[in-house]
Amino acid sequence: MDSKEDKITEEEGYEEEADIISTSPTAAARENILSLMDGFIEQITSIRKTLLGVSISALILAPLAIGLSVYLILHPSFFAILEIENEFGLLLSILLVAVLIISSIWFASGIRQFRSISSWSKRYNEYKREKEDMDRKIALKYGFLTMTDNNTTSNQ
């Protein structure tokens, strides 16, 4: 009998601690900052998908542009066009060199972006896992129940 009363008293103590923790101004500010950070991280995660698409397009389209430019420059007709068409040949060679330079920069940027997105994803997944572990530990320590726990106990 005493153990049931001790358990009830202990649970009431946890509820009082929870009320004190949740109503203190510093806890509310801390919770607000954490929720803002979580929202910010979620927003960056959605932007990451767009950046991943851009980096993949750079990894596919830039080599195609470089290959096409190199093919045109090495083609035997290219030098004939340069000799026959003075202004057009000069403009074409400047354009092809510009395509080569820009595509090379775009390709290098795509590789760097893809690597940084991959490493960021790994770190973000690790952060989420650690956050969930900490939330579980806090809930166990202070006796907080989640909404799903409340629903399952009330349904039984």
Task: Mention every residue, 6+ apart, whose C-beta is less than 8 A from residue 57.
Answer: 110
pTM over 0.75: no
Ranges of residues in the chain whose predicted pLDDT is under 70: 1-30, 144-156
- H or E element at residue 137: helix 86-142
Chain centroid to CA 26: how far?
A: 29
User: Under a CB-based contact definition with an 8 Å cutoff, are residues 138 and 27 in contact?
Assistant: no
Q: What is the pLDDT of residue 104?
A: 93
Q: What is the pLDDT of residue 153?
A: 47
Q: What is the pLDDT of residues 45-90, one digit of tens each?
A: 788 888 888 888 888 999 999 999 899 888 888 888 878 887 888 8
Q: What is the pLDDT of residue 64?
A: 94
Q: What is the pLDDT of residue 52?
A: 82
Q: What is the pLDDT of residue 155?
A: 47
Instruction: Determine the residue type at 124.
Output: Y
Q: What is the pLDDT of residue 47?
A: 84
Q: Provide the residue ranges of all domains of the chain, joining segments of one domain with +.
A: 2-146
- H or E element at residue 134: helix 86-142
Q: What is the pLDDT of residue 24?
A: 57
